[in-house]
């Protein structure tokens, strides 16, 4: 079992105006934000800055239109120009405009500027593919059946967040509990996205035992995570997210009793010795080094049941930085449950 902290990290970094009281209010906000936003494709030569006051710098598009920048789009502009944001912030707007006059890219590939009203929300190169938060939430609402936010956490945290840089949504099924030897598990998931390039598109699904007030998910099993970069095929990620939620729902609906029995048998079924446990892991495709680490962790717990060995692999894999590698190992190790069928 593992403890999941993504929602906990979101809880402590969000401002009050980024917290939404219901999934409906979050969806409405994201749809309005999408409807108000327009991508402008500009030749690099048209992108410039100008000072409109001694302390205000705006972005111009070559058509006498100017846009205010928020902290994120200004940071992107500085990265495009290869100048230090902290240095530019110490300059007057007139001096800053001159700083940007030469180092901004002047190639042939167009730049895309996401504009909402009078504000430039983001600046990207041609290879970036935008996916709106509303598109992700529409997929979630279509696939998730009877899921809702967790209980309110510290500081009024709801698990539903959206700011100028990204969106995060935490949902559980409060009626999806299954009982395993007196321990209750229920399904839940996190989804996240950024319309402006702040983070990937992603999902993490799981079965959990408890969620505390600071939104740490305790004793999670069957953890699956997927991330997609905002490249040309990012919308394929929506299909993958839909499938991940549907698998969670299908397990809840069709395998509720079966899953409980399988995990119960996995907790009761012991390997004869360490060698048998090691051979079973080897057959799943888990690497030798990870297998040795898992066997050592299971040895420390003093028993070699199917579930203990699987839990050991999951704990170790959770420390691997690459999400794709973690998901592969989780899938390989998960096949151990077939021994309990």
- Check residue 300 and give its pLDDT: 85
How many CB atoms are closer than 10 A to CB 252? 21
Q: Chain-wide mean pLDDT for the chain?
A: 89
- Check residue 243 and give its pLDDT: 93
* Percent of the chain surpassing pLDDT 90: 52
Q: Can you say how many angstroms the Cα of residue 190 is from the centroid of all Cα atoms in its chain?
A: 7
- Check residue 281 and give its pLDDT: 87
Summarised one tens digit per residue, pLDDT across range 147-197 is 999 999 988 999 999 999 999 999 999 888 876 655 678 999 999 999 999
Summarised one tens digit per residue, pLDDT across range 126-136 is 899 999 999 99
Summarised one tens digit per residue, pLDDT across range 58-94 is 999 877 789 999 999 999 999 999 999 999 999 988 9
For 270, the token pair is 């012991």
- Check residue 54 and give its pLDDT: 66
Is it the case that residue 255 has pLDDT exceeding 70?
A: no
- Check residue 286 and give its pLDDT: 86
Distance CA 235, CA 49 (A): 33
* Percent of the chain surpassing pLDDT 70: 95
For 189, the token pair is 């998931």
Confidence class of residue 256 from pLDDT cuts 50, 70 and 90? low
Whole-structure pTM value? 0.75
User: Where are the chain's structural domains?
Assistant: 2-34+131-254, 44-109, 258-340
- Check residue 120 and give its pLDDT: 95
Mean pLDDT (whole number) for 24-51? 94
- Check residue 147 and give its pLDDT: 96
What are the C-alpha distances in Å from 318 to residues 97, 113, 199, 242, 268?
A: 46, 37, 20, 23, 24
Is it the case that residue 109 has pLDDT exceeding 80?
A: yes
- Check residue 257 and give its pLDDT: 67
């Amino acid at each position: 079992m593992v403890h999941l902290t993504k929602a906990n990290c979101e809880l402590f970094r969000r401002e009050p105006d980024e917290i939404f009281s219901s999934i409906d209010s979050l969806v409405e906000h994201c749809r309005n934000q999408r409807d108000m936003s327009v991508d402008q494709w500009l030749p690099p030569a048209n992108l410039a800055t100008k000072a409109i006051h001694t302390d205000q710098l705006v972005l111009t598009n070559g058509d006498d239109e100017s846009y205010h920048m928020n902290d994120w789009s200004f940071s992107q502009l500085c990265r495009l120009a290869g100048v230090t944001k902290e240095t530019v912030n110490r300059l007057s707007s007139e001096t800053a405009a001159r700083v940007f006059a030469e180092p901004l890219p002047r190639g042939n590939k167009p730049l895309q500027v996401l504009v909402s009203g009078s504000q430039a929300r983001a600046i990207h190169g041609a290879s970036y593919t935008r996916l709106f938060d509303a598109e992700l939430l529409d997929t979630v609402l279509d696939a998730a059946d009877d899921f809702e936010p967790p209980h309110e956490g510290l500081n009024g945290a709801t698990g539903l967040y959206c700011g100028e840089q990204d969106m995060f949504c935490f949902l559980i099924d409060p009626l999806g509990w299954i009982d395993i030897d007196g321990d209750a598990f229920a399904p839940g998931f996190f989804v996240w996205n950024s319309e402006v390039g702040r983070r990937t598109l992603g999902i993490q699904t799981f079965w959990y035992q408890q969620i505390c007030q600071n939104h740490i998910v305790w004793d999670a099993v069957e953890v699956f995570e997927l991330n997609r970069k905002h490249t040309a095929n990012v919308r394929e990620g929506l299909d993958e997210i839909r499938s991940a939620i549907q698998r969670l729902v299908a397990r809840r609906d069709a395998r509720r009793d079966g899953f409980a029995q399988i995990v119960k048998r996995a907790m009761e079924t012991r390997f004869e010795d360490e060698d048998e446990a090691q051979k079973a892991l080897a057959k799943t495709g888990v690497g030798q080094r990870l297998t040795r680490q898992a066997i050592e962790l299971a040895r420390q717990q003093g028993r070699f049941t199917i579930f203990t060995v699987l839990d050991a692999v999951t704990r170790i894999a959770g420390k691997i930085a690459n999400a794709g590698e973690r998901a592969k190992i989780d899938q390989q190790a998960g096949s151990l449950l077939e021994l309990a069928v």
